[in-house]
């Protein structure tokens, strides 16, 4: 099971501009998050830092190309 609470906490920290790498590494070492979760957090922090550099704003800016995920209503 994914540790959503830890991911939520780390995401909020990253968005507020805190450096999450140490916290994320500590959570990984203590078994609170998985290596996959740690890598994803690192990737998110990188993206936020890139947004700050590009736009002066950590909140995502730009565009998303969304894929067509089909028409099944159950996903709605």
As given in the structure block, the two tokens for residue 2 are 């994914």
In angstroms, the CA 19 to CA 49 distance is: 10
CA atoms within 13 A on the CB side of 26: 7
Binding mask 48-67 for another protein (x = CB under 8 A): x-x--------xx-xxxxxx
Do 52 and 17 form a contact (C-beta atoms < 8 A)? Answer: yes
Question: Which CB sits closer to another protein, 4 or 30?
Answer: 4
Nearest distance from C-beta of residue 17 to another protein, angstroms: 11
List residues binding another protein (CB under 8 A).
Answer: 2, 4-5, 7-8, 11-12, 14-15, 34, 36-37, 39-44, 46-48, 50, 59-60, 62-76
């Amino acid at each position: 099971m994914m540790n959503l609470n830890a991911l939520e906490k780390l995401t909020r920290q990253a968005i507020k501009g805190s450096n999450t790498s140490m916290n994320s590494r500590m959570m990984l070492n203590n078994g609170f998050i998985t290596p996959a979760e740690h890598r994803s957090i690192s990737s998110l922090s990188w993206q936020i830092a890139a947004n700050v550099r590009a736009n002066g704003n950590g909140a995502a800016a730009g565009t998303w190309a969304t894929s067509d995920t089909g028409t099944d209503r159950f996903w709605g």
